[in-house]
Amino acid sequence: MLEKGWNPRLPADTLRKGFLDINPTAYSFKIMLDKVKRHSKQSMDDTFDYAKQKWDKSHKVPDFKVGDLVLASTFNFNNIEGPKKLEDSYVGTFVIVA
């Protein structure tokens, strides 16, 4: 543990540009790792944005208001005994209070 300075976490972090004794091959490897890191971050951001656009395009926020009558799905109910296919898919009508 260092008291001052920084602890390198990856081999690429130990290579600083100002040092004169850096092997050119190691320095070019560090440059390549930096490019790959930037490219992968950009690709993940692009993929996230694309997935968000597709989700937002096909899903809408339900517009419930206080006093509306709604049904509750029984899909995740674990306390129902007997054959599930004979049970109702929805229960209720419930009033939205707040």
pLDDT tens digits for range 72-87:
888 777 776 777 677 7
Residue 85's CB: how many other CB atoms inside 10 A? Answer: 6
Average pLDDT, rounded, for the chain: 81
The counts of H helices and E strands in the chain are 1, 2
Return the structure tokens found at 51.
């997935």
Domain locations in the chain? 8-59, 61-98
* pLDDT(90) > 60: yes
**What is the spatial distance between Cα 76 and Cα 14, in angstroms, rounded to a whole number?**
52
Measure CA of the first residue to CA of the last residue in the chain; give whole Å.
Answer: 54
pLDDT in tens, 2-30: 566 666 666 666 655 565 566 778 888 88
